[in-house]
Amino acid sequence: MLAAICKTYGGPDVVHLREVETPIPTDREVLIRIHATTVSSGDCRIRGANFPTGFGFLARLIFGLTRPRQPILGTECAGVIEAIGAGVTRFRPGDAVIAFSGGKLGCHAEYRTMREDGALIAKPAGLGFEEAAAIAFGGTTALHFLRGPGKLRRGERVLVNGASGCVGAAAVQLAKHLGAHVTGVCSGAKSELVRSLGANAVIDYGSADFAKSGERWNVIIDTVGNAPFARTRDALTENGRLLLVASGLPDLLKAPFQSMTSGRTVAGGPAPERVEDLALLATLCEAGTVRPVIDSSYPFDLIVDAHARADTNRKNGSVVVTLDARV
């Protein structure tokens, strides 16, 4: 099979297409013929070893000290089951599916195996493969933070910092679905997009600082990494919650003390990869309540360009890569 291989840390040009052995599904595994995947911010962080402040050594222990331990990146995909291993009962060949491999990666290839009891669900008929491939990474992260440490309640005020990105676009829509009044922070050029996702108000970070606006929010979700508690404290209500989706180790280490002494909650850390969250997102997307935002789409032979686009940090939603050319 053809796979995008990353054998050293560096820029987009360290990624090369190579023929590698096609995996064989073992017991309770399925083999997915991938039709679409994405290049996420997580892929770019691993490829470039651009880990959040304070996490460099720990991340290299996990992902590889001198080069990526898993040379095939990619956290999410959509495709069709090609074959099944012994004992598989939930799926059969020909089923269209959505898979979220998360930190195990491996989706930047023509085929990937997944356990049938992993983060793997049937693809709704109303979702195309490109849309389906783009729901897991950002959507599950936003869902975890809003429903978990965010404890979002109907009628509360939510601010999404980085509202046009992959996690931010999902957070705007999910917060709106959960009954919140949503303010999105983005560049002025992306204001209309964020409003179209359901935001009640939009703040252009180029002309105004939300933290100095005098407004207050019950929940602030920071998907960018530039809104620590020191900056946002006065923008939070009493008992407000600051959700640090993108933050370094120093901010996470301070979070318990800040929570204990301020009357507010500061929370961060990785989001779990749960099949029930993936299933809920697929249902919401099929119903039109949430829509995957696709910044751009590249054929597999231009995956280096997809990495370069994702590296700009200016994308709207997800950068998709399609693998249908050799079907």
What is the C-alpha separation between 182 and 318, in angstroms, rounded?
21
Choose among 246, 184, 222: nearest CA to 44: 246
Mean of all residue pLDDT scores within the chain? 96
Give the range of the structural domain holding residue 182, as residue numbers without chain letter.
138-268
The arithmetic mean of pLDDT across residues 309-318, rounded, is 94
Q: What is the pLDDT, as a whole number, of residue 326?
A: 43
Q: Does residue 125 share a domain with residue 8? A: yes
- CATH number of residue 144's parent domain: 3.40.50.720
Question: Count of domains in the chain?
Answer: 2
How far is it, in rounded angstroms, from Cα 213 to Cα 280?
35
Same-domain check for residues 252 and 315: no
CA atoms within 13 A on the CB side of 40: 28
Is the per-residue pLDDT at 327 higher than 80?
A: no
- The reply to whether 200 and 90 lie within a common domain is no
* Residue 12 and residue 129 share a domain: yes
Question: Residue 318: inside a domain, yes or no?
Answer: yes
Nearest-10 Cα torsion for 322, 324, 325, 327: 160
Q: Band of the pLDDT at 262, cuts 50, 70, 90?
A: very high
The pLDDT, as a whole number, for residue 59 is 87
Say if 72 falls within a structural domain: yes
Q: How far apart are the first and last CA of the chain?
A: 12
* One domain for residues 73 and 49: yes
Provide the residue type at 280 as one letter: L
Same domain, yes or no: 252 and 299: no
CATH number at residue 10: 3.90.180.10
Place 325 in a pLDDT band, splitting at 50, 70 and 90.
Answer: very low
Is the pLDDT score of 36 beyond 90? Answer: yes
Categorize the per-residue pLDDT at 180 as very low, low, confident or very high, splitting at 50, 70 and 90: very high
| Signed CA dihedral, 184, 278, 112, 132: sign only | negative
Same structural domain, 123 and 147: no
pLDDT for 88 beyond 90? yes
Task: State the average pLDDT over residues 241-256.
Answer: 95
Q: Is a pLDDT exceeding 50 seen at residue 68? A: yes
The arithmetic mean of pLDDT across residues 296-316, rounded, is 96
Any idea how long the chain is?
327
